[in-house]
A and B are shown apart, each in its own frame.
Chain A
């Protein structure tokens, strides 16, 4: 098979969902740092969000599977830790999707801008940590709904 263009590969990767937050893709999350051909092997550089995130190995496997399904025969996943991942790399599309899904996107102020459900600004923190390493638990004091907040790092 002829080599796919970089543009095509990025499109394919943008269809690979994050295993823990399937509403956004690995590209939206900002963890795919680069794609490059090395002879007939496609090398994809991936950066971990949190260093101990258990989803990292699943993500590598999902990327490999997705590319092989598209006919790329040799895929190599390279883990790249520098520069360290930051939530600034979340795409605008990804941020909007998170909010729609009920996860408040990261905010530099250190907490959610609003309740993702009723949009009230009256929110309070329940815990600095949540169901995955990248999230914290918050609650809306107007509609009383607890929700996840994507931690800002």
Chain B
């Protein structure tokens, strides 16, 4: 049980960690000051949520590691993040499309986790879901504004959707860990969230003048750690450099 719970918490914490770091890469280089601030704030929320998830994961594991050790001293194959969140930022439109696809899932997943049989998970979810709803509100509006913007912005948003779509399906793939969590009343049935997710994204994409790709093909291997994309290692090289080169550095 505790092995599966540890695995499950790593998935939650690694998603927010990897996406939080990705979004933070925009700090200082976003297309407008307001967007720069918005992205940095979103990243901050994710890093804050990561601290809660990974701190709990470390306690469950009980091997003397803490949240920092989990974040900075694991290599690619020990990460349990979805392939979607490790995709590169691309342009501003691709970043916001990735955000929107994840935010819609995140709100549904966290809303379900608020009722988790695991009190600690329920508490972290209750704290995080408020922030996730705010993220979704923003990414939804931005996707519509860019999709239903100029010919060029529409073209880029459609391209972003087409590129990211094959990575979205992994969010709803259920494996033995998910099943065990679901049986224990800890986590939701991820496959069942897919319908609600489509109900959120479909009308938004329609308003954004974008076409949902037809193929249901989904790349897998992120949340199990079996096959991460080539991008994650590069991201970790940047993210983990300092604590690895200067162990236990303080400031």
Tell me the A residues contacting B by CB distance below 8 Å: 48, 50-54, 81-84, 126-131, 133, 137, 151, 153
- What is the bound-complex CA distance between A84 and B48, given in angstroms? 14
Q: In the complex, which residues of chain A have a beta carbon less than 8 angstroms from the beta carbon of B37? A: 127, 129-131, 137
**Interface flag for B45 (CB, 8 Å):** yes
Q: In the complex, which residues of chain B have a beta carbon less than 8 angstroms from the beta carbon of A151? A: 134
- Do B38 and A127 touch (CB < 8 A)? yes
Q: Of B38, B49, B130, which one neighbours A129 at CB under 8 angstroms? A: B38
Interface size on B, residues (CB 8 A): 27
- Do A133 and B45 touch (CB < 8 A)? yes
- What is the bound-complex CA distance between A129 and B139, given in angstroms? 12
Closest 7 CB pairs of A and B: A52-B48, A51-B48, A127-B34, A52-B44, A82-B123, A129-B38, A129-B41
- What is the bound-complex CA distance between A18 and B123, given in angstroms? 25
Secondary structure at chain B's binding surface: helix, strand, loop or mixed?
A: helix
- What is the bound-complex CA distance between A86 and B126, given in angstroms? 11
- What is the bound-complex CA distance between A118 and B195, given in angstroms? 48
Secondary structure at chain A's binding surface: helix, strand, loop or mixed?
A: loop
Q: Shortest beta-carbon distance, B50 to chain A, in Å?
A: 8
Q: In the complex, which residues of chain B have a beta carbon less than 8 angstroms from the beta carbon of A129? A: 34, 37-38, 41-42, 138
* Residue-wise interface mask of B (37-68) relative to A, using a CB-CB cutoff of 8 A (1 in contact, 0 not): 11001111111110110000000000000000
Q: In the complex, which residues of chain B have a beta carbon less than 8 angstroms from the beta carbon of A54? A: 44
Max count, chain B CB within 10 A of own CB: residue among A127, A129, A131: A129
- What is the bound-complex CA distance between A146 and B82, given in angstroms? 39
Q: Of A83, A126, A133, which one neighbours B41 at CB under 8 angstroms? A: A133
- Do A128 and B124 touch (CB < 8 A)? no
- What is the bound-complex CA distance between A101 and B45, given in angstroms? 26
Q: Of B38, B43, B48, B51, which one neighbours A128 at CB under 8 angstroms? A: B38
